[in-house]
Amino acid sequence: MHKLHSFYPSLSLSWAVTGVFLSATLLLSFLTAAADLLFGPLLLHNGWLTLVAYVLSFAAVAGFICWIPRATPATAAVPAAPRRLSPALFVWLLLLTPLLSILVEPLTMWLPMPDYMEKLFAEMFQRNAATFLMAVVAAPLCEEWMCRGVIARGLLRHTTPAKAIVWSAFIFALIHMNPWQALPAFVFGLLLGYVYWKTQSLWPCIFIHFIINGSSFLLMFLFPDLDANASMKDLAGDDYWLLYALAAVAAAYVGYLLYSELHKQRTP
């Protein structure tokens, strides 16, 4: 546990961490598919095997970190101490996150999704307990631990905050391994990295991630007939661009309030 907490990876080590995660994900995906062929679809289609494989990918990262003999010494900026998290911070994040989700949607609207990807998304995002645990619980905890708690935290010790935020956002996008999730993930990764830099806490980042995935899961229950790749435009219809304009204005205002809140934080 001490090695996990004291590991501050440089950019090269951050890519090594990413490589371990992607390799573990591909290997476990292969093993999951093999189990599906050997033992029937129940193991895969109820979601529990997918959940276990997902968590094991992050366990492989933790094992890799513990295996490294020693952490690379810091060479540049050292992050500030953790800051006091006010209730107002979480209020602004709660309001800004769904607004930003609307604003980033056009990034993937122009990109048609192949039939095999639609089928894959439908299998990944099922309406069951295992999918809920993976998307709404495990993903915010595990992905924020790796992308912000390990990679961004390490990069903040080795480079400027701007570079640390951009690189950690890029890696966050990359681990989603498809453009329909990667493009919005990069934008949200910039917000997540910025919030982590200003607060030095994973909890606001986990909260943002929880809102993103939790709202998507909720929409699956409220609109069960929607396709796996359905968008807000499908829900809003002809009023979509009016909704988009209102969301842009509201996001600008709430974003300013969040910025002000982050910049008036004080250490305990």
Structure tokens at 6: 């004291």
pLDDT per residue over 124-133, tens digit each?
667 788 888 9
Residue 224 covered by a domain: yes
Please, which pLDDT band fits residue 79 given cuts at 50, 70 and 90?
low
Tell me what pLDDT residue 146 has: 97
Distance between CA atoms of residues 153 and 147, nearest Å = 8
Least confident interval from 42-51, 145-154, 208-217, 228-237: 228-237
Number of compact structural domains in the chain: 1
Residue 1 covered by a domain: no
pLDDT surpasses 50 at 86: yes
Our CA angle for 42, 44, 50, nearest 5°, is: 145
Distance between CA atoms of residues 13 and 159, nearest Å = 13
Rounded to the nearest integer, the mean pLDDT of the chain is: 85
Our CA angle for 163, 166, 169, nearest 5°, is: 145
Our CA angle for 151, 92, 240, nearest 5°, is: 100
Residue 73 covered by a domain: no
Residue 44 covered by a domain: no
Please, which pLDDT band fits residue 9 given cuts at 50, 70 and 90?
very high
Residue 144 covered by a domain: yes
Cβ contact 47:123 at 8 Å: no
Residue 58 covered by a domain: no
pLDDT per residue over 226-238, tens digit each?
665 666 666 667 7
Look up the domain containing 247 and give its range. 80-263
Indicate the angle between helix axes 11-39 and 161-174, nearest 10 degrees.
Answer: 10
181, 182, 187, 192 alpha-carbon torsion, rounded to 10°:
90
Residue 255 covered by a domain: yes
Long-range contacts of 183-191 (CB under 8 A, 24+ apart): 183/104, 183/107, 183/108, 184/101, 184/104, 184/105, 184/107, 184/108, 187/100, 187/104, 187/107, 188/100, 188/104, 188/212, 189/147, 189/165, 190/165, 190/166, 191/96, 191/100
Cβ contact 158:211 at 8 Å: no
pTM, 2 dp: 0.88
